Each structure stands twice: as structure tokens, then as C-alpha cells.
Chains A and B, each alone.
Chain A
Amino acid sequence: MGIAESIFKTRLTRRRFLQATAATGAAGAVGSGALRTLQPAHAQAQPATGETKITKSICHQCPARCGIDVYTTDGRVHAIYGSSEHPISNGKLCPKGPLGAYILYDPDRFKGPMKRTNPKKGRNEDPKFVPISWDEALNTVADRLNALREKGESHRFALAFGRGWGASCAGLLGTFGALYGSPNVPIGHSSMCSDGSILSKQCTDGNASYSAYDYHNTNYLLIFGASFLEAFRPYNNNMQVWGYIRGEKSPKTRVTAVDVHMNTTLAASDRALLIKPGTDGALALAIAHVILTEGLWERSFVGDFKDGVNRFKAGQTVDPATFDEKWVKGLVEWWNVELKDRTPAWAAGVTTLFERDIVATAREFGTTRPAIALFERGAHAHSNGIFNGMAIHTLNALVGSLYAKGGLMYQMGPAYGPLPVKDADFMDDYAKNGPWKKQPRIDLKGSEDGYLLAKNMLQELGPNSLAGKPYKLDTILFYLTNPTWTAPNGQVWEQAMAELFVIDTSPFPGESAMFADLILPDHTYLERLQDAPTYPFQGWPLAQLRVPAVKPLYDTKYFGDTLIEIGKRIKGPTGEYYKALGNTENVIRALAKGFEANPGDNGVKDFESWKEKGVWYRKPYLWQQRDGAFYEWDGKGYGKAMTPEEVKAKLLKTPSGKFEIRSGYLEQHADWIAAKTGRDKAKLMFPQWEEPKHPGGGDLYMSTPKVALHAEGRGANLPVAISLLQPVMGGRDTVYIEIHPETARKRGIADGDRVRVKSAVGSIEGYCRYFEGTRPDTIVFPMEHGHWAMGRWAKNRPPGHCGEVTVNQSDRVTGQCSYYTTKVSVEKA
């Protein structure tokens, strides 16, 4: 028998075999079947047919507001680059910038307005949303609000917002609250953000604001927390600055960075200080102590001893009469009541840092001008946050950096035109004198029973409504915020939301949306026409515009227009106001009118040119402090000397018109603060060391920082972001809980083990990684995963959400939610 014959007899021909496998491959075409390649598919080049269009917009992944060029071909967005002509982005973007198209085309988006049909609410309850028309949706909201108003219960409507952008969205909210009549419209999220920093500045230099920084000209950066190279706004520009000050500038700017674990900021700095959580204030006090004892303070700004002889000696009081204070108030008193004992040796004991590192940092900071001490959440997200913040910010005063070249200042607002309609003309009697006027805010912000000095207390809204203290809400509307998940101990929010009529306006599913009765989905940002003045940047005013790159993909509506449409349906003059206002494009056109008198440096002078360029800005910043004297821009330079009164009105807005180490603002409320905190009334107005209170009942601190790929509100459902989220630990499809090897071994936990993190309020699980860069008394993992809604990629991705083990505790003075202060226990799961 020949071989060919033998083979044919078996009938297993190669040809038939291939046909069979090819057919199977086609049948199972769901996967990326390798066998499909058996079909000879020669990939042909398919050149695009349409022109590529570039639209100006601004990024949405953090507050920085970088100008972007959106590339659209054949109606599809396929690329996003930084706008070369935009002063923040300068053609660049951070790693989040390119994620925009994934957000636009997120397959989990809401496709139009919907209502809930399942009355039961809970984590495991499917809302059973059904599509409805916009008219039905808006009428439902308006009917509810009108009914509340008729009952005199309009205060039971709250509108909570997160990342508001400009006058055409968040800017409309205050008017709505005033016309409709609710103290709870709006409630911002700033207390869950970084109000600790804002209050620290308000208490010391009188500006209730984040700072603007002149990094390009600084020679020293002392960074507390803030994650400068991961998350600090404007992240993109910070990195541009970093490349310059660290790679090109002469002299190279030196950097010391302070945090509770090793991150890229600390790694890229000259000195990393791995400090005990909540003790940043102690370090700042010790640095101030060294600056004073070694005579390193900036005499032109701070002042000096009358005879020029330094009397600051550790442990010894100084006679205030011997010192002439110039732009600061209360320096010598501070020394006497607090600072004289805050030696580096003392601080080493509190912070666990080495004394030699504290002294070296203080000497560098005190001798390098200009220098900036910068801090953000982390340093002040503790019960002693106000003191930590004030102590750090006082370092800026000691080295004369306020309003100095290479120092820090405050942001100017844009030259917006007024709205076309005046809200004052549409106030009815209810709006002016309705019963809502006597109601406190639901979050007890500004109330003696709550948080008298805070700016917002969103984290209290859920618990307060649930407890009925001060009352129960009826209806709540969310704009760009998801506190059901982001609030500390959000489990309480879930109970609170189950009682309320909830309206969510997010384009995406989320935990708050899962409790919603109505979904009024917003456009995603690449579909919006939306204005946005800059966050604090370099001081001079700047306002950007989002221009739609594509028509809305689905039946969605820009939130500003949703609000106006609801307003039109409110009975009485309120409805008339919104009818007169029309829509958000009218608002934006009115804003742009302001540019006619103040054309931008790039020629933007009206709505059309704003749309074309995407940004209006006008340099320079108008003020500068030089050698202890303040000057105003005179058209050519900082030549016009300012009087102390002008300085007080425009720059140092404190009762004394000086930088107040002895805070007049705190002093005014000393009785209330002393009553609520037990602090010494004679001393509570000075930056001082106070042991932080760590709730939770565990033995390890827990820090949950924001990371570079945290695309605000959406990173958890973007596969590219998920895959890059935690590069230091190598978290590719999960986020690892960083734990020090010794800490883990003591608990019988091996590298990579699944662990349980517990506190008094809850317990979560996730996988751990040994990391020598994390303090042995602390665990660290980025706040990102643990969603139970939010989309197919986000859902149930470990580890569990840190908020579920974070105790809801806030700084009583600043209202700052103390996210990083809970102590937890960790065990093998």
C-alpha cells in the first residue's frame, strides 16, 4: 500500500480539516478566535475619508481646566492633545487628558432621561429604570418642587454639586436657591475636598481661597502631602514646571517633600520625609523654630528686633516690646505661647523623623529665597487640621513669600459680563421672606450646632437627613457628585438616600444614580458648551470654554440647561426669570460680553473668538511684594507703591491687614471654638501642636491618596486607566494595599495575600503588596475601586472602597472631612 493511498483511506485530509476548523471559528466568533486567522484575511489599509477637525475644549478629569484640542474625523473623536495656545496646557496634557474619548464612548453611559420603577432602594435592588421623555422628566421635578414650595417646605429640596465648572452650570445654582427658596441650594463639596487649606489661609492672610503659585521663579519647594507629581492641580502644568525647575532652570530648584508613604513626588525630590500621619504641623512648627532661633526669617517682611539682636532662644520667652512686627501679627506672642518649645528634637519625637533631617530642611528653607511651603489634604485632613495648615502657611510669611516673585498669591477672576436678566427683579415674597429663611442648612454649615466656620459640610447631609436633625430632606438633586460613595462611611448615605426622592444628572451610572428616582443625564464634556474660569493658577485671570467636538451621542442635556428648564417650570416669578434667561448659550454669550472692554492677550474679545481660541486670559497679575513693600502694576511694571489700606483691601484681607499668626478670624469665634473643641481660649488662635484624634478603633493609620490616573469620577470604569492606576505597586487589574513587610508578617500576611481592613464602621477586602516605602504604622491604597455600580469595569473591582471603613470625622473649625485619620486593623482574609 502506498503512502498516498493509505492516507486517503483515512479521509482525514488537510483540506477538510481546515474547512472544519474554519467553520468552528466562525461559529464561535464572539471571542478573538485565533482560528479565525485561518481564513486568509489580508488586512487592507483603509484610509479615512473625512477631514480631521480640531475643536477647542477643556479637560474634565481634574479641576485644572487644561485647554485641549479635540481631533474629530468622520464624526468620531480619536485624539485629544493639549492646546498649544492655552497657558495651562501649553500643548501638553497629564496622563488623564488622553482618556477623554473613552469617556465619550463609554458603553455604560445613560442614553437618555429615565425614571425608576422599582420603589425599593438598596445596593442589591435593580432600579428598573425605564426611558421617559425630557418633558416628563422635567415636569416631574418641577411638580415636586412646586408642591414643596406650596407647603412652605422648599428647604427640604437640596442640590449638591461636586466639580462645578463655571457661570453656566454651578454659577446658576445660588440664584436658583434664592429664587426658589432653599438654603440647601446649592451645597458644595469643598469640605470633602480641601477646605482645610482654604480656612487655614483665611485665618492667617484673610483670603478664603487656594493659593496661586509662581513656581517658575521659586528656588525652594517644601511640599506637605498634596501629591505634587500625582494629583495636585494643575497637575499638567505642575509637571511642565517640574521639567523646567528641575531640568533647565539655573539654579535648579531644590525640593523637600513630606508624605506618609513613598510616592513619585517624594522619589523625584531631593529629600523625602516619611512623616507620621497628622503630625505635619509639628514639623512646620519645628522648622519655624529653627528659622527664628537661627535668625533666618525675612526681616523686610516679618520685621526685626529693634536692636537687631536675635533673642529667639529655645525655651526662653521674648519681650514683645523688643520686636518691631512689619507685615505679620503675633510673632513674638506665638513664640512665647507655643514655638519656643517646638525644637527639632521635640518634633522628631512627634513626627518620627530624624532630628537632623528636620534641621537640614529648616536651614535650607530658611536660607533659600524665594521659597514656597505648599500643603493640601493630607496635612490638614485631621482633627488638628487648622493648626497644621496655619503652621505650614506661616512658613511662607516667615520667609517673605506672600505675593513675592517666586512666592504665592491668589487668583483673580475673569472679566465676565453680567447675566442678561437680573434675579433681584424676580424675587417673590416667598423668596424674600418665606419660611425657608428661618431654616438652617441641612448640613449645619454656619450653624452653632454644627460647623460655624465651615464653607460646606456635604459629608453631614446624608447622616443629618437620616437622623432628621435639623430636619429630613424630601428631594435631592446631584450634579457632578456621588456622595453616596465618596462620603466617609457612605453606608449611612445609602440609608438616607433610600428615604428621599433622588435625582441624578450624571451621564454615567453610579452609586447615587442607583438610588435615583429620576435620571436626567448630562452631556459628557466633549459634547458640552460650557464656560470655566481657571482654578488658582498664576494669579492673572483666565477663562476657558468647552466647545462641543461632536453632537451629543445620546438624548442628553447639559446640566445648566436642565436647571434652567426646571426653573422655567417653577410657578411664579422664578419661572419667568428662567424663561427670560432662555438657555446656557445666552448665559455664555453674556459672559463673553465682558471681554469687549477687557480683550484677552490672545485677542479674544467676544463669544465667537472665545469659541475659536477656547481661552481668554489677561496678564499680568496686578500685585507684587518686593522686599517688604507692596506694589501695584502701573502698566509697565510693579511700580505703584501701595498703602497699608490698599494692601488690606486687596491682598492681606485680615482684620489687621497683616499676616496674622495670631488669627483675628479665630479670635472672633474663640468662645464657640473653645466650647466645641475644649481648646484653651487664650491660645486657640495661634498655630500650635495638638494631638490629632484618630477614630476607627484600629492600630494602623490608613491613607488613601489620589493618584495620577484618577480621572475624576470615571477612572474606575476606564480600562486603560485601571491598567495604569498603580504603577509603583504594579496594580494592573486591581489596586494593591501597600503594607510594610514587618507589619504584614506580624499579622501572618504574606505578600499578595487577600486581606481584610476593618474599622468601627465597616470592613473591606483587597490584595496587599509588601512595600518598604510605606510607614510600618500605616497602610496606603489609592481611592478608586470598590464601586458597586459605576459600570462594567468598575463594578466589584477590589479592593473594597476605603470610604466604607473611613469614620465620618471632620475638623470642627474648617469642616474638612478627615479622610486620612481613621485607624484600621488589618488581617488575613
Chain B
Amino acid sequence: MNSATTSRGGTGGFLAGIVGLVITGAFVVWQLAAQGHAAFNTTSLGLMWGLPIVTYDFLLMSSAGLGIVAALGTVFGLPAFRPLARRAVWLALALLVGAGAALFFELGSPLRALWAIPLNFQVASPLFWKVIGVVVYAICLILLASGWVAKGADAKPSSGVSVVALVAAVFVIFTGSLLFATLSMRPFWFSGEVPVMFLVESVLAGLAFALLFTHLAGTPDEATRAAVSGPLPRLVALLIAIQLAFVLGRMVVGLAANLDGMQVWQTIVASPAFWIQIAFLAVALWLTSSPGMRASGSMQVAALLLLLIALFLGKYEFVIGGQLVPLFKGSWAHGLIQYSPSTTEWALLAMAGFLAYAVYAFGAARFRLGGAA
């Protein structure tokens, strides 16, 4: 066990996370208590899912992606992934907690959701299956965390749990994409490639999170150093290339399509956020594919940060973009729906981030997250 692995980003990070969590959380709770969801800039006029859902979806899909990354080491035994596996499992848990928190404050009746979803067996709903998947996934992560990560350097992951976690992660990503992909009245989302895109995005985000925090943890052992400067950045580069193909492909199709609902793409292409996303992906692609850059830890950290920001922007553009064309609102909605997140929504994003970070830092401080699986 490398003591440095646990100290950096450990207790200090945990405390920082808690402080951030308390400040942002208090603000969110105060706003919601005073105004309810009127504190959000979402409206029944058409923008029903705003930044909190983007936050939730990004964190949940990234968590599932981390589960897959971990499984590549634990289930498939790919050597390059083994040094990341413990950290990926704990990060997955941390992001899952963050995702849950974001959703908790977004739902109208979050406590009711705890029983109403599992007990009503709405098997026709992708969201029902998604929640089942998330529950199974969460249980697997807890089992892996308590039975493996928390047990010290010599512990081995249960292969059964690892396999179930992998299946659950893929299932969560798949069902999570379905609600969007099946809505024929929203052509921006209604597409067969969406589940595949979600899968690529999630694995890329998971890999980016795992690599980023491995870099940030510092002084890795040889196996880790080899993995994070060799095959893994190359895989990241490959996935970025695929992701870019998805983004640009969807853009070209969107701009060329006649269908009402696709005009959103003109708005998206006109927004700086879209080009920031492309630029960040491109820079991250260069930094991860250039052998020289791969050798530099700080360049890799920069690349991964840019990549994660780009992926978040992409998630935002996807979730919000599908809602910008108001469905049957007539003149009540003038043109496309105008949306920008409220302060409370931004605070909720920060709160979920701080919470996830605090959970991660807690693990980083107490458990050995580096080293081979």
C-alpha cells in the first residue's frame, strides 16, 4: 500500500468537499424550501428537464461508465485497467451518490419515489427498468466497496458481484438512453444510435474520471504509470474520436434534416458552448493521442478536465436540446424555448459535485484506491 495514494486528495479534500457541500446544499435547501421548484427555471411551457437532470444524468452515466471501466479490469482482467479498478469502483459509488442527490432535489416527491417505483411494476416504462438497474448496480458497488476496496490491498473482488455490476452498468446506460431514444415526437432524440452513443459517452466519461483521479492521486506504481501513460490514453483518444463522430454526425444530420424539431441544431450550432465542446474534445484528442503529451501527467490532467467539461456540455446540449421545440404551445412560447439555469440549479450542480467529491475523498483518505486489482 502506498501511503501517498491515500493522503493526497484525502482528508483535506474530504473536508473541502464537506464545506462546499454544506454551503451549496444549504443554499439549495433554503431556495427550495422558500420557493419550491419555482427556484428552477424549468416550466411546463416545454423545458421540463433542466440543469438538475443534466447533472443527474451526467453523474449517473459516468458512474455506470466507471463500473464498466472497473469491470474491464476485474471481469475481463485487462491489465491496463486493473490499476484503475478500485478507484473506479469507489468513484462510481461517489458519482452515484452525487447523481442521487441531484435527482432527490429535482423530483417532486423523492421519498414517494423510493417505494412507488419498485412497487408498481410499470414494466412498460424504461424508467422503471432503469431504476431497477440502478438499485442492482448500487448494491453491487456497495458490495464491492465494502467487500473489496475497504478490505485492504490483499482483498479480491467477488467475481460474481463484478459480473452483475458490469451487466447492471450496461443495463443502466441502455435503459437510461431509452426514454430519449423512443420519443417519436421529439426527433432530436428519436434515433437508434442514441443507446450506442450513451454507451460510448459513459465509458469515455468513466475512463476520464478514473484516469483524472489516478493522476491527481499522484506517485503511482509502475503498472499504473504504464497504464495511464500508454494504452489508456490511447483508448481515450479512440473513444474521443468516436464521440466526435457522433457529435459531428448528429450535427450534420440535424442541420440537413427537414423535419420539424431538428431546427434546434441551428440554435445549437450558433451557441459558443457547442464549439467549446468540439474544441475541448479536439484538444483532448490531441493531448491523449500525441505520445509526447501522454508522457506529461499535467497535460493528461488538462486533457481529462477538458474532456469531462466537453462531455458535460454534450449532455447539456442533448437533454436541453430535445426540449427546445415547444410541443403545442402556440404563441404562448415565442419561437424556441429560452432556457438558462437558475442560481439554484447551478448550486444544485455544485452541491452534487461537492457531495460526490466528498464521498470520493473520504474513500481516498481511508482506503487504498490505487494499485492493482
Question: Is chain B in direct contact with chain A in the complex (CB below 8 A)?
Answer: yes
Distance between B239 CB and nearest chain A CB, rounded to angstroms: 31
From A24-32, A372-380, A451-459, A657-665, the one touching the partner chain is: A24-32
Structural contact, B38 and A35, CB atoms closer than 8 A: no
Stretch at the interface among B103-111, B216-224, B298-306: B103-111
Chain B 218-272 residues near chain A, CB threshold 8 A: none
A31, B37: Cα distance in complex, Å: 10
Query: What's the Cα separation between A769 and B335 when bound, in Å?
Result: 12
Per-residue B-contact encoding for A17-47, CB less than 8 Å = 1, 0 else:
0100100110110111111111010000000
* Interface residue range, chain B: 20 to 34
Residues of B within 8 A of A38 (CB): 110-111
Residue from B36, B145, B332, B362 having most chain A Cβ neighbours under 10 A: B36
Q: Judge whether B32 and A730 touch: CB under 8 Å.
A: no
Q: Is A752 an interface residue (CB 8 A)?
A: yes
Within 8 A of A (CB), among B120-177: 142, 145-146, 150
Q: Out of B34, B110, B146, B333, which one reaches A30, CB within 8 Å? A: B34
Report Cα–Cα, A18/B32, bound state, in Å. 14
Against A, the Cβ 8 Å flags (1 = close, 0 = not) of B1-35 are 00000000000000000000000000001101111
Distance A18 CA – B114 CA, assembled complex (angstroms): 14
**Which among B150, B330, B334, B362 is the interface contact of A10 at CB below 8 angstroms?**
B362
**For this complex, into which size category does the number of interface residues on chain A fall?**
20 to 34
| A33 adjacent to B33 (CB under 8 Å) | yes
A3 to B149, CA, bound (A): 9
B36 interface neighbour in A2, A34, A732, Cβ under 8 Å: A34
Q: How far is the CA of A33 from the CA of B29 in the complex (A)?
A: 10
| B35, B150, B330: the one within 8 Å of A33 (CB) | B35
Q: Which of A3, A36, A752 contacts B145 (CB 8 A)?
A: A3
Across the interface, do B146 and A2 meet the contact criterion of CB distance under 8 Å? yes
Report whether A32 and B36 are in contact in the complex, using a CB–CB cutoff of 8 Å: yes
**Least Cβ distance of B158 to chain A in Å?**
15
Q: From A726, which residue of chain B is reached at the shortest CB distance?
A: B331
Q: A3-B142, A3-B146, A34-B108 are in contact. Are A727 and B33 (CB under 8 A)?
A: no
Query: What does the 1/0 interface line of B26-57 toward A look like (CB < 8 Å)?
Result: 00011011111110000000000000000000
> Are B366 and A37 interface neighbours, CB within 8 A?
no
* Docked pose: A37 CA to B104 CA in angstroms: 11
Closest residue to A6 on the B side, CB-wise?
B366
For the complex formed, measure the closest distance between the CB of A195 and the CB atoms of chain B, giving whole angstroms: 35
Evaluate whether A33 and B32 lie within 8 angstroms (CB atoms) in the complex, with A4-B146, A10-B362 already known.
yes
**B30 → chain A closest CB, angstroms:** 7
Counting chain B CB atoms within 10 Å of each CB, which of A3, A30, A727, A730 scores highest?
A3
Residue of A nearest to B110 (CB): A38
Beyond A3-B142, A730-B330, is A40–B112 a contact (Cβ under 8 Å)?
A: yes
Q: Is A629 an interface residue (CB 8 A)?
A: no
User: Provided the pairs A32-B38, A34-B108 are in contact, do residues A728 and B33 lie with their beta carbons within 8 angstroms?
Assistant: no
Judged by a CB distance under 8 angstroms, whether A682 is at the interface is no
The distance in angstroms between the C-alpha atoms of A32 and B334, with both chains bound, is: 27
Given known contacts A3-B142, A6-B362, A6-B366, is B334 in contact with A34 (CB within 8 Å)?
Answer: no
Closest partner residue, chain B, to A28 (CB atom): B33
Interface positions of A from 708 to 758, Cβ below 8 Å from B: 727-730, 732, 752
Residue of B nearest to A42 (CB): B112
How far, in angstroms, from A374 to B35 measured CA to CA in the complex? 52
Is B38's CB under 8 angstroms from A31's CB? Answer: yes
Interface centre among A25, A34, A730, A769 (most CB of B within 10 A): A34
Closest to A769 in B: B334
B90 to chain A, nearest CB (A): 10
Instruction: Tell yes or no: A48 within 8 A of B by CB.
Output: no
Shortest Cβ distance from B367 into A: residue: A1
Q: How far is the CA of A529 from the CA of B38 in the complex (A)?
A: 43
Given contacts A1-B150, A730-B333, A752-B334, contact A37 B142 (CB under 8 A): no
Q: Given A730-B331, A732-B332, are A37 and B109 also a contact pair (CB < 8 Å)? A: yes
Name B331's contact: one of A2, A36, A727 (CB within 8 Å): A727
Would you list which residues of chain B between 74 and 123 have a CB under 8 Å from chain A?
105, 108-112
Q: Taking the nearest CB of chain B, how far is it from the CB of A750, in angstroms?
A: 13
Determine whether the beta carbon of B332 is less than 8 Å from that of A730.
yes
- Chain B neighbourhood of A728, CB < 8 A: 331
Q: Please give me the residue from chain A that is nearest to B332 by CB atom.
A: A730
Please state if A37 and B108 are interface contacts (CB–CB under 8 Å): yes
Q: A21-B33, A30-B34, A31-B36 are in contact. List 18 more A-B contacts (CB 8 A).
A: A1-B366, A1-B367, A3-B145, A24-B33, A27-B33, A28-B30, A32-B38, A33-B34, A34-B32, A34-B36, A34-B105, A34-B108, A37-B109, A38-B110, A38-B111, A727-B331, A730-B332, A730-B334
Chain B residues in contact with chain A, CB under 8 A? 29-30, 32-38, 105, 108-112, 142, 145-146, 150, 330-334, 362, 366-367
**6 examples of A-B residue contacts, CB within 8 angstroms:** A18-B111, A28-B30, A33-B33, A37-B112, A730-B331, A730-B332
